[in-house]
Structure 1
């Protein structure tokens, strides 16, 4: 789940693990899981989880809910796709990163 924390009057968006409720602060240690859709023509919800025990629990829950093993993606790759699908070019991303420094 994506949430915004507020620290010293500054909004800080984070992805939180849907299993343990803690922030995923290193994208390489997170996953994005979703229902596997054989037809490939649907909109499905995404569950975020830390790798390891949280991932195993998320996979178990989604399998029980949908009756099939979910798809999953490395969080860093998933976030890259999200930015691309939001129309943010690599150049714009660099500009935005410079603005925050």
Structure 2
């Protein structure tokens, strides 16, 4: 299996695991998104989608995520910000 096929299969398997619809049109949409944005970006968008309500788990939502943030930098920055610890000065000395 070549790398492109392997990457596409990884994306389609992730979508299936996430509960995406499994029609031929859905497979075609997933394939097009991988061709346009690359497997890594699509996998990242699927991970974002999984964190949303179940009715958002479809390729249209993934496409919207990718159109807003094609390289994933904005969403990755938001994720990093969400896990970054916050330090509060409690008035104590060093």
> TM-score with structure 1 length normalisation?
0.28
Q: Between Structure 1 and Structure 2, whose CA radius of gyration is higher?
A: 2
Q: Which has the higher strand share?
A: 1
- Structure with higher RCO (Cα < 8 A, 6+ apart): 2
> TM-score with structure 2 length normalisation?
0.29
Q: Which has the higher helix share?
A: 2
